[in-house]
Amino acid sequence: MQKRIFLTGTALAALSLVAPAVMAQADVFKIGLILPMTGQQATTGRQIEAAAKLYMAQNGDMIAGKKVQLIVKDDTSIPDVTKRMAQELVVNEKVNVLAGMGITPSALATAAIATQSKTPLVVMAAATSSITQASPYVVRTSFTLPQASVSLADWAPKNGIKKVVTLVSDYGPGIDAEKYFKERLTFNGGQVTESLRVPLRNPDFAPFLQKVRDLKPDALFVFVPSGAGTAVMKQFLERGMDKAGIKLIGTGDVTDDDLLNDMGDGALGVVTSHHYSAAHPSAMNKKFVEAFKKANNNLRPNFMAVGGYDGMRVIYEALKATKGQGGGDALLAAMKGQIFESPRGPMFIDAQTRDVVQNIYLRKVERKDGQLYNVEFDVIKDVKDPGKAK
């Protein structure tokens, strides 16, 4: 009670001072970008923040009469922190849009806040299928694990890979990857002989890989989140799995462009499926990669960067379409159904599911101009999230 009186008194005393700022607030369009900037998923935050800033530098920050303001918060990839930050951004900052979401638990923890406050939540990284169903205010510009996994399960048996062991991080996206890969591979006449799950936090892959070596499948299918691929690759090679005739395959998270170039020649030939490669041969992507590197001390953009860049596009276009006057519901409506060219290729936001529909590419790690890249060799066009059919 005392505190409230004190606050009221202070607020009254300060009113004359803050009045111009409050008025100015109406002319500002705020994007609350919550990302893991430190901790295990820090590369995700670094990539998305850099991409969002690049988008703003390229497209300006005065849109439909509003000054666009990006407020970046570090949730350290702890979902309780994500939720608290979302709450503060909505209540105190009165953000127009929430965005970011480095991992699935962060997105799920924030969904209810988006619903209650009718604030669009643009998910730029997290990729468990069910996230879009957690709130009608979620719009996703990343990808889904079922999307990437089924495409690889179609490719594998046609390429001599029939017996597979799966190894995934033990949480939402890993469980999606395991399930959809196995279902599709089995449908195609292949077999998953063992499914292994490693903890998300501080994983030690060694004991799992030893087991895989003993099982001796044609291939090991891996999902680990962005940032963890190097450890998997290193231990896979150290154990001589490749020499034992076991192929490494996975969704493109394992040969993440953020890490790939430092993985060494042992990564050559690894086949993955994903929606984005820095080597995607389009004019738009070449420009994107060049500009991103130039602005970020030669850092190569990865699939997280592209999710952030396209997320900003979706927000900007919604702001334009609503002429700067739209509330959360109007902005959300203007996000649904957007169709455009991304550095990844063509994509669209399905108006029904609010999820991304996009090409999934099969890629092989090759050396190009002295550097390692995921070189695309096949494409499955306009893939909807297979998780939505269930």
Q: What is the contact surface with ligand DHB in residues (CB under 6 A)? A: 44, 103-104, 125-128, 172-173, 225-226, 253
- Structural contact between residues 102 and 77, judged by C-beta atoms closer than 8 angstroms: yes
CB of 201 to ligand DHB, least distance (A): 12
Distance separating alpha carbons of residues 209 and 193, to the nearest angstrom:
14
For residues 120 and 173, which CB has a smaller minimum distance to ligand DHB in the complex?
173
Closer residue to ligand DHB, CB minimum distance, 126 or 139: 126
First to last CA, the chain: 51
Nearest to 68 by CA among 78, 81, 82, 58: 58
- Cβ proximity to ligand DHB, 35 vs 192, nearer residue: 35
Identity of the residue, 213 or 234, whose beta carbon is nearer to ligand DHB in the bound complex: 234
How buried is residue 339: exposed, middle or buried, by Cβ count under 10 Å (0-12/13-18/19+)? exposed
Pairwise CA distance, residues 298 & 384, whole Å: 33
Radius of gyration of the chain (CA): 22
Q: Which residue, 126 or 315, has its beta carbon nearer to ligand DHB?
A: 126
Q: How far is the CB of 66 from ligand DHB (least distance, A)?
A: 31
Could you tell me if 336 and 354 are in contact, meaning their C-beta atoms sit under 8 angstroms apart?
yes
Q: What is the dihedral of CA 66, 143, 52, 228, to 10 degrees?
A: 150
Which CB, 36 or 190, lies closer to ligand DHB? 36
Count of CB atoms situated within 10 Å of the CB of 71: 15
3-class DSSP assignment, residue 363 = strand
Nearer to ligand DHB, 104 or 338 (CB): 104
Least Cβ distance, residue 370 to ligand DHB (angstroms):
26
Q: How far is the CB of 20 from ligand DHB (least distance, A)?
A: 42
Please give the C-alpha separations between residue 120 and each of 52, 251, 254, 289, 331, in angstroms, as whole numbers: 17, 28, 30, 28, 7
Residue 109 or 319: the one with the smaller Cβ distance to ligand DHB is 109
Q: Which CB, 123 or 334, lies closer to ligand DHB?
A: 123
E runs forming strands in the chain = 28-35, 62-63, 66-74, 97-100, 121-123, 138-140, 163-169, 191-198, 219-223, 247-251, 271-274, 339-342, 345-349, 356-368, 371-383
Residue 89 C-beta: closest distance to ligand DHB, Å: 20
Q: How far is the CB of 125 from ligand DHB (least distance, A)?
A: 6
Amino acid sitting at position 311 = G
Q: How far is the CB of 362 from ligand DHB (least distance, A)?
A: 18
Helix (H, G, I), strand (E, B) or coil at 244: coil
Which residue of this chain has its Cβ atom nearest to ligand DHB in the complex? 225
State the minimum distance, in angstroms, from the CB of residue 44 to ligand DHB.
Answer: 6
- Report the nearest approach of ligand DHB to the CB of residue 149 (Å): 11
